[in-house]
Structure 1
């Protein structure tokens, strides 16, 4: 394993209808299935993954822009889709990353988003494992 810079810790109990809590206590949520017909409120693994991926990708995009001497303002929305997997009768996820980039042309926004996708640790972790679609929009 490479040199570890830090380690995040979270524990889940009870699966998709249980509870998840980070060691720091900043994440402390009940989990629920969005498809359940219940009044129970909670988050789900896809929502948590979307938040992490969006934050990581936004950071990567700003690092890439900085290296290219571009001053930008950005917003990333990650749509994480929970889908049936026809190959094994199980389930899978797919991601759509919607990037709004202020301060550059549409072509530059697309180039920066693609470069960020090559640099982002979440993108590296998912590459070849799940479908990730990139949408860049200069604003």
Structure 2
């Protein structure tokens, strides 16, 4: 089963934040916001961005050992490290699989052998910049209602569909 989700940021609809939850009023796409923050992840990129390093913070260590990043060969890089699209794919696949299991449990079904593969592609747009295309392959689930329910639960799916609040602060 294959689902293609296009990055919500490509939408030309104006965006308005409405606090917790979301709605679509008068053709305006609104952004979802949590009612309560349960966890905050932190990562720091340095030394060249896509060709530098990234470190993640955890409860065990303030920052992990730097993970080397590299542009893919198809984009002029060495391909000798991970890239943001791979990291996004990993996070989305893990999160969506968790949502699948939760929705299956709620429906009283077992999907013990389920697997999720996320393929994230990047390319230039007509406007300056780049866009992402995400393809998700779900194995071991035969019930479309569980797949649909998982998309409604998974924060990655929801962010791609509805947008996400993002702020930038100079420090």
Q: What's the TM-score once normalised by structure 1's chain length?
A: 0.79
Q: How does 1:1-16 map to 2 (within 5 A)?
A: 2-13=35-46, 14-16=48-50
User: How many residue pairs get matched?
Assistant: 122
Out of 149, 154, 157, the position equivalent to 1:115 is 149
Q: Which residue of 2 aligns with 1:79?
A: 119
Q: How far off its partner does 1:3 sit? A: 1.5
Q: What's the TM-score once normalised by structure 2's chain length?
A: 0.65
In the alignment, structure 1 segments of 5+ residues that lack a partner are 130-139
- Distance (whole Å) between structure 1 residues aligned to residue 65 and residue 155 of structure 2: 21
For CA contacts below 8 A with separation 6 or more, give which structure has more relative contact order. Answer: 2
Q: How does 1:1-139 map to 2 (within 5 A)?
A: 2-13=35-46, 14-24=48-58, 25-26=63-64, 28-35=66-73, 36-38=76-78, 41-73=80-112, 74-86=114-126, 88-101=127-140, 106=142, 108=143, 110-128=144-162
- Secondary structure at the counterpart of residue 71 of structure 1: coil
Q: Deviations over 1:19-66 (max 9, x none)?
A: 00001355731111003353x621100000000000000000011111
Q: Deviations over 1:5-25 (max 9, x none)?
A: 111111011211110000135
- Distance (whole Å) between structure 1 residues aligned to residue 91 and residue 134 of structure 2: 12
Q: How far off its partner does 1:2 sit? A: 2.5
- Distance (whole Å) between structure 2 residues aligned to residue 19 and residue 27 of structure 1: 9
Backbone CA RMSD of aligned residues: 1.9
- Distance (whole Å) between structure 1 residues aligned to residue 153 and residue 65 of structure 2: 26
- Distance (whole Å) between structure 2 residues aligned to residue 66 and residue 26 of structure 1: 34
Q: How far off its partner does 1:89 sit? A: 3.3
Q: How far off its partner does 1:76 sit? A: 0.4
- Distance (whole Å) between structure 2 residues aligned to residue 67 and residue 29 of structure 1: 37
Distance change (3 Å), C-alpha of 1:63 and 1:26: farther
- Distance (whole Å) between structure 2 residues aligned to residue 65 and residue 59 of structure 1: 10
